[in-house]
Homo-oligomer: A and B are copies of this chain.
């Protein structure tokens, strides 16, 4: 099993990973490693801004993987300083222009400031229009630049007060790391949709990261999750905490457990791998079916398939093999090839499937296109029956809180009931875990509709953060400028 989920057309995509270091020694190298461990959260671009002891900032950004951009020793060496913030980006707009790569940097009156965020603002457009009206110039099309302008025009004097001023104006889901001459800052939105954890280096330095797997790679000790609505200010005197939004009920993204997070991370106290196995077991209890083998759709379906198999007492087998050598460009099929229905990334382990009743376990169905191909491939390899089991409830709604999902009209579960979906993907049976079953696997008795413990809007449409930019019918076009030749 592995942590790869690259370029998969029919999966939701996490938008970003963030990492920050204070007093870390080789801060750029640590940040490059941390971003490497968070590579599954965004593969389109990576950036690091460091701060040296003279108060100068050093930046490097590029399109592509962390290793592609930070693989040269001279790049790391030129990113001087013991503090840094870094960012992996998955582009939500399709525009991968370099000017949109984070961290964003700005020269303020009070000095330099760099910020990187994971998440999505839901009133970015409204704020942007107001800011442009008062003379602000936008250079990128990222939501993140809104933060920077709000800080720039804030009438408060300290950086922290300006940041709080800015955060109080934005709506949305975000975890951010920021760096200025006096401190490293971390912040989570009031209900804590996106993750952010605090760790400590052996040398006493501090680390902020989207997931614990990024602490592990730099041998940082996990200290705690940053809380919903909390701002932490890290400087040489230690970690200070501020909660400017008062008390909120936390609603962490439930999909992080199902799919996004790396299996070796621990989120809000729960190991992700173990949790996925529990979801699989719950799924087996809810919708068991007689079969000969349980086969995961690799790689993300593996742990839930293992949980399913163990609970159902049916052998777990690797009936689908994944090929990771895909290269930069994809082989374009000719007409003849297209008829073959070639799958470049998956192949059926024919001897394992022939004549068998197969339970396929996957984590989600978005458009359904990949599921149909997988079922067809398994049947062509000789499976007698194909039963699809999904370790999440039907994805009926889009995410506006930092996950790239198709529009609702393209979500299979928004248009079809389960029976129709089974027919469309060609499975003999199809079942999703129930919402309550999912909450049970997460240790709750059931979902409390009055006060759910997680953000589950993609399954329920329960959008707890207002969708201002969509409600006022604003188009989301953020610039009249169209880059040529892309």
- Chain A positions within 8 Å of B, measured between CB atoms, are 1-4, 6, 25-26, 29-30, 32-33, 36-37, 39-40, 43, 49, 55-60, 64-76, 78-79, 98-99, 105-109, 111-112, 132-133, 135-139, 148-149, 152-154, 213, 216-219, 262-264, 266, 271, 273-274, 298-299, 302-303, 306, 316, 318, 321-334, 336-337, 340, 342-344, 347-352, 478-485
Contact A79 B484 (CB under 8 A): yes
Interface centre among A69, A153, A302, A342 (most CB of B within 10 A): A342
Question: How far apart are the CA atoms of A58 and B480 in the complex, in Å?
Answer: 8
Residues of B within 8 A of A299 (CB): 1-2
Whether B25 contacts A336 by the Cβ 8 Å rule is yes
User: Taking CB as reference atom, which chain B residue is nearest A132?
Assistant: B109
User: Measured between alpha carbons, how far is A419 from B342 in the docked complex, in Å?
Assistant: 48
Structural contact, B76 and A332, CB atoms closer than 8 A: yes
Nearest-neighbor residue (CB-CB) of A35 within chain B: B331
- Cβ B337 vs Cβ A33 within 8 A: yes
| Cβ-defined contact, A481 with B107, below 8 A | yes
Question: Across the interface, do B216 and A350 meet the contact criterion of CB distance under 8 Å?
Answer: yes
The answer to whether A64 touches B271 (Cβ under 8 A) is: no
Whether A66 lies near B318 (C-beta < 8 A) is no
Partner of A60 from B298, B344, B483 at Cβ < 8 Å: B483
Decide: A136 near B152, CB < 8 A? Known: A327-B71, A352-B273, A485-B60: yes
Report chain B residues within 8 Å CB of A138: 106-107
A98 CB contacts on chain B under 8 angstroms: 98
Q: With a 10 A CB-CB cut-off, give which of A112, A148, A154, A349 has the most chain B CB atoms.
A: A349
Residues of B within 8 A of A332 (CB): 71-73, 76
Query: Are A71 and B331 in contact, CB atoms less than 8 angstroms apart?
Result: yes
Contact A26 to B264, CB < 8 A, known contacts A2-B321, A67-B326, A107-B481? no
- Which of A111, A154, A336 has the most chain B CB atoms closer than 10 A to its own CB? A336
Smallest CB-CB A-B distances: 4 pairs: A67-B327, A71-B329, A271-B351, A135-B153
Task: For residue A279, give the distance in angstroms from its CB to the closest CB of chain B.
Answer: 15
Complex contact A482–B76 (CB within 8 A): no
- CB neighbours (8 Å) of A109 from chain B are 132-133
| A480 adjacent to B111 (CB under 8 Å) | yes
Complex CA gap A58/B482 in Å reads: 5
Give complex CA distance A131, B482 in Å: 27
Partner of A136 from the list B1, B137, B324, B337 (CB cut-off 8 Å) is B137
Return the contact of A264 from the options B6, B326, B350, B485 (Cβ within 8 A). Answer: B350
In the complex, A149→B107 CA distance in Å? 14
Q: Are A347 and B213 in contact (CB under 8 A)?
A: yes
| Residues of chain B lying within 8 A (CB to CB) of residue A74 | 485
Quick check: B327 and A484 within 8 Å, CB to CB?
Answer: no
Chain B residues, CB < 8 A from A350: 216, 264, 266
Known: A57-B481, A137-B137. A331 touches B67 (CB 8 A): yes
Please, could you name 10 A-B residue pairs with CB atoms under 8 Å apart, sorted by A? A26-B334, A58-B481, A66-B331, A67-B326, A76-B331, A76-B334, A109-B132, A109-B133, A112-B481, A216-B348
